[in-house]
Structure 1
Amino acid sequence: MDGSIGVGLIGTGYMGKCHALAWNGVKAVFGDCARPRLVQLAEVTQDLAQRKADEFGFQRGTGDWRELVADPDVEVVSITTPNAFHAEMAIAALEAGKHVWCEKPMAVALVDAERMAAAAKASGKVAVLGYNYIQSPLMRQIEALLQEGAIGTVNHIRLEMDEDFMADPEALFYWKSEASSGYGAPDDFGVHPLSLLQVLFGPVTKVFANLSRPYADRPTVEGTRRAVETFDIASVLFELGEGISGVMALNRSAWGRKGRVALQIFGSAGTIVFDQERFNELQIYSAADRQSLQGFRTILAGPQHPPYDRFIPAPGHGLGFNDLKIIECHELLRRIGGEDARVIDFQTGLNIERAVHAMAQSHREQRWVVI
């Protein structure tokens, strides 16, 4: 991967900082790419943009994201804004001839996600989505185990994603409870487990979903209450292309859960268990073990699980969330350089978006929906 690439970042919240850390760290961790040039950062005001540019190591800041997209020194744009802004910004960047790294989900409306994919195809530029959980060294190990048939033929999958950032009924109303942000649990949230399914098994082909709101309204800063417009809980039956059945449970209001993406894969000869809250370990049960030794084995991540070795030379010490973002950044640079890369691009991301909208349709119509 030769040649330093000019980076623009739109948005400096939680995920914006993750992207900035990744752009700052990718050269030091992997060493096989030129150090990115952090050219420009965009925020809602010039003052905030310049302050964050100084903090994150960007050359300059702007209060107008369109100025960043038009900057000839910017070659790739990181988009980490709220969901409703993704489509407009990504399409503008692609039409300006920039590569795009956009946080999930693609867009609120399916038609906008389709427009984003079409714009990426027309531009010939690389456009990928921020699904960093697929980058886990042990998620790669799970994929290898499945490919070698370690648990036989897979016949059922259970997936749970739970967090508690919406658990308090008296937490203030904010944009994630507005319909303009999407459906809630299925798209703001459930796209992560869907990304794991996409990488390990391919697209979901059929869903039956029930969506619910645990709290009808939330308090506002003005002292009134406002109706919650999105769904914080989703229960989904699904099928995959090879006839594999599955269950997915999503809950943004689950007290005590902080970052749980629990995956259980059941096969004819064993079971694999993984939980994102403990993503430096996986468990495997093999029916081939002699009966006196049968039981789940816990495997700790180590340098034998690339690219863990790029961070730490010793097993069991553990990577973190932002490390996955650095790996994702490296994969993006590989794709831009014309190499094979582990990414979910806009075209593949449409499979995930279609599954989300099928869930919403299923809930409305109370029936199975074929995707």
Structure 2
Amino acid sequence: MKQLGVGLIGTGYMGKCHALAWNAVKTVFGDVERPRLVHLAEANAELAAARGAEFGFEKATADWRALIADPEVDVVSVTTPNQFHAEMAIAALQAGKHVWCEKPMAPSYVDAERMLEAARASGKVAVLGYNYIQNPVMRHIKVLVGEGAIGKVNHIRVEMDEDFMADPEGFFYWKSALAGGYGALDDFAVHPLSLLWFLFGHVEAVVTDMVKPYPDRPLQQGGRKAVENHDGANVLMRLAGGISGVLMVNRAAWGRKGRIALQIFGSKGSITYDQERMNEFDLYQAEGRGTEQGYRKILAAPAHAPYDRFIPAPGHGLGFNDLKIIECRELLRAIAGEPSSTVSFADGLRIEKSVHAMAKAFHERGWVTVDD
């Protein structure tokens, strides 16, 4: 596979995460050409130049369209706020670039559809940044479920909680605005939905309640502004194969930092997992004498590929940025035409459709089918 020229739009938390992945993917996996960090774009020239030097990019600009027009750029990472994803991703695809866009696709479902249309028309690879599915532990949970280690799965509970919106006196910013979408559902719930899709397939029907813990927030310039979306949601779900599910999400959960608590119940056992302890899971199998039955803690180890590419010993642990490196390697597989584990724009649109069905169910106060 030829060396790819990389363009990066946005250099905040996720922009730096992408830059780390592009810089590290050759070192970790060894079986790919080292990507060439060609062009970086930020909101102003001074910040772009500073981040370009820090991240190792050859060129920097305050004009993201100039980056997309650069003939030396083959693939574009889009890591800007959600409301800019559609315009930037579509422009990159129309310019003949592959796209690695952070989740969610876009606050507007129509814009998400346009993104998929552009991807299909371009013939280029377009994937979304759902790196939690890349966890070697999550991959092994999928293997266990597929092997029937806990029998036929009948119920799933998943909770996602963080506290970055927990302070009622935290300033109003774009995540509390309508431009930020539905709030916890599309900014947030898409991550556990990606895990459900990865393990079991898409959601088929939902009924929803959404909540605003705080009706307004202070503005930096003074005064207060009404919060325009919801920081929490509770969803009852039906998944393929008759599996029942519960999804609970909360961006205002004091004390929770990166929690995705997943419980999978089957006819012969159960599996539990928590993203805050992402290098382990617990397995219960209803076999043998009842006097010795109990959960077994499984620690991530070299046997859980590709953990072995990072660390040669069990129990030492991977981190969030490591999952992004794995995701970057899967993107390179997709670009090379090889089988890969990524969330395509097509699968991402189905996740978006689930989110919009949840919002519709809240407003209609009843069950809503997620149509294919």
TM-score w.r.t. the length of structure 1 is 0.99
Residue type at the aligned position of 1:205: E
Name the SS of the counterpart of 1:266 in structure 2: strand
Cα distance in 2 for partners of 1:19, 1:323 equals 11
Cα distance in 2 for partners of 1:10, 1:68 equals 8
1:111-155 Cα distance to aligned partner (Å, 9 max, x none): 111110111011000000000000000000000001100000000
Cα distance in 2 for partners of 1:89, 1:310 equals 33
Cα distance in 2 for partners of 1:68, 1:198 equals 33
Q: Report how far residue 77 of structure 1 moved.
A: 0.2
Q: Aligned runs of 1:186-205 on 2, under 5 Å?
A: 186-205=185-204
Partner residue, 1:145: 144
Residue 357 of structure 1 pairs with residue 356 of structure 2: yes
Name the SS of the counterpart of 2:37 in structure 1: strand
Cα distance in 2 for partners of 1:334, 1:150 equals 30
Partner residue, 2:310: 311
Cα distance in 1 for partners of 2:289, 2:354 equals 41
Partner residue, 1:274: 273
Partner residue, 2:208: 209
Residue type at the aligned position of 1:175: W
1:270-296 Cα distance to aligned partner (Å, 9 max, x none): 000010000100000000132121000
Partner residue, 2:56: 57
Name the SS of the counterpart of 2:270 in structure 1: strand
Partner residue, 1:263: 262
1:207-261 Cα distance to aligned partner (Å, 9 max, x none): 0001110000001111200100010000000011211000000000000000000
Residue 14 of structure 1 pairs with residue 13 of structure 2: yes
Cα distance in 1 for partners of 2:323, 2:166 equals 26
Cα distance in 1 for partners of 2:84, 2:361 equals 26
Name the SS of the counterpart of 1:86 in structure 2: helix
Residue type at the aligned position of 1:154: V
Q: Give the percent of matched residue pairs that are identical in Structure 1 and Structure 2.
A: 67
Q: Aligned runs of 1:1-371 on 2, under 5 Å?
A: 2-371=1-370
Cα distance in 2 for partners of 1:104, 1:261 equals 16
Name the SS of the counterpart of 1:242 in structure 2: helix
TM-score w.r.t. the length of structure 2 is 0.99
Cα distance in 1 for partners of 2:160, 2:232 equals 10
1:156-186 Cα distance to aligned partner (Å, 9 max, x none): 0000000000000011111100001101000
Name the SS of the counterpart of 2:192 in structure 1: helix
Cα distance in 2 for partners of 1:12, 1:365 equals 39
In structure 1, the gaps of 5 or more residues are none
Cα distance in 1 for partners of 2:297, 2:147 equals 19
Residue type at the aligned position of 1:285: Y
Residue type at the aligned position of 2:230: F
Q: Report how far residue 357 of structure 1 moved.
A: 0.3
Residue type at the aligned position of 1:43: E
Cα distance in 2 for partners of 1:37, 1:122 equals 26
Q: Report how far residue 3 of structure 1 moved.
A: 1.3
Cα distance in 2 for partners of 1:8, 1:113 equals 21
Residue type at the aligned position of 1:328: E
Name the SS of the counterpart of 1:155 in structure 2: strand
Which consecutive aligned stretches of 4+ in structure 1 deviate over 4 angstroms post-superposition? none
In structure 2, the gaps of 5 or more residues are none
Cα distance in 2 for partners of 1:96, 1:71 equals 9
